[in-house]
Structure 1
Amino acid sequence: MKRTIVDATQLELEDKVVNIKRVTKVVKGGRNFRFTALVVVGDKNGHIGAGLGKATEIPEAIRKGKEDAIKKMISLPIDENGSVPHDFIGKFGSATVLLKRSPAGTGVIAGGPARNVLELAGFKNIRTKSLGSNNKQNVVLATIEGLRQLKTPEEVAALRGISVDQLG
């Protein structure tokens, strides 16, 4: 089941720049410098998006990245503990992120790029482990891909054609 794309006009969004890269292109007259900004946007209430912006100036790249992230926002299920409904592995490229459910009081245990995504999504108690690639962009996208595929107990029960009480 695919998460719905969110209309971000009513949400109070916070953004965080995860990574800024300087990209150089060598041309006949010298070097051209451009900047690439990876931006994560969320409302800390179950909505998250990540985007990439490219421009000749850093502020312009960040603005474009934020716009791209808002276009790609998704909604997420968060349980009563502020954690994920079930354990899951998100994959993107060679990056793999393990998302584990945690009891209240655990906090957000995650590495840098995954932590940015989870805090802006609104998770309070979650454990993660980044496996494979350390590429920040792929880790962010793997985390979002894992979150996108999470299902609530109600969704699982509906897919199986049983009641939530019978799940076990």
Structure 2
Amino acid sequence: MKAVVIIGDSNGHVGLGIKTAKEVASAIKAAIVIAKLSIIPIRRGYWGSNLGAPHSLPTKVTGKCGSVLVRLIPAPRGKGIVASPVVRKLMQLAGVEDVYTTSSGSTRTTENTLKAAFVAIGNTYGYLTPNLWAAQPLAPSPLDVYAEEAAAGKRRY
């Protein structure tokens, strides 16, 4: 028997666990453990103006598993989650309130559809947006730090 488990706190964290076992109860227990170990953060954003709390995704993201390709598109506030029932539950547990989805491939396989959606929302932290482009001080290069010693011919062993 195969168990597919989604866990989340509806506040930007979600996990997915899949486990196969001979008994249903042991498959579910193991899938819950795997889901807890695979929790990832979700970056939430806005569609349009950034008034209020983040309600959607920051940009369009895509995930693929097997033949299934899931694309998540930010939606305006109040639109809700426009998705299949399993992807809708994943988005609710992730804390995303408004999102459009498109999918292609054999979406009848729930496992691959969930994996593709999980990869897609995991990709929200796969890039830096302009608001995260803060100036980072660079560490001095070892060539600059030890330039005098190298020029003097001193050896450090």
Bin the TM-score by the shorter chain: 0.7 to 0.9
1:68 and 2:42 matched: no
How much does 1:90 deviate? 1.3
1:131 to 89, 104, 113: 104
Structure-1 residue corresponding to 2:148: none
Give secondary structure in 2 for the equivalent of 1:149.
helix
Paired with 1:97 and 1:117, the residues of 2 have a C-alpha distance of 13
Number of positions where the alignment pairs a residue of Structure 1 with one of Structure 2: 127
Alpha-carbon RMSD across the aligned residues, in angstroms, is: 2.2
Task: Name the TM-score, length of structure 2 as normaliser.
Answer: 0.73
How much does 1:59 deviate? 2.1
Paired with 2:88 and 2:81, the residues of 1 have a C-alpha distance of 7
Paired with 2:95 and 2:133, the residues of 1 have a C-alpha distance of 29
1:40 and 2:14 matched: no
Give secondary structure in 2 for the equivalent of 1:77.
coil
Unmatched segments (≥5 aa) in structure 2: 46-52, 136-157
Q: Partner amino acid for 1:99?
A: L
Percent of matched pairs sharing the same residue: 30
1:82 and 2:55 matched: yes
Paired with 2:54 and 2:39, the residues of 1 have a C-alpha distance of 23
Give secondary structure in 1 for the equivalent of 2:55.
coil
1:100 and 2:73 matched: yes
Cα offsets for 1:19-49 (capped at 9, x unmatched): xxxxxxxxxxxxxxxx110111111111011
Pairing 1:1-12 to 2, within 5 Å after superposition: none
Question: Which structure: greater helix fraction?
Answer: 2
1:144 to 109, 113, 118: 118
Paired with 1:161 and 1:78, the residues of 2 have a C-alpha distance of 19
Question: Which structure: greater strand fraction?
Answer: 1
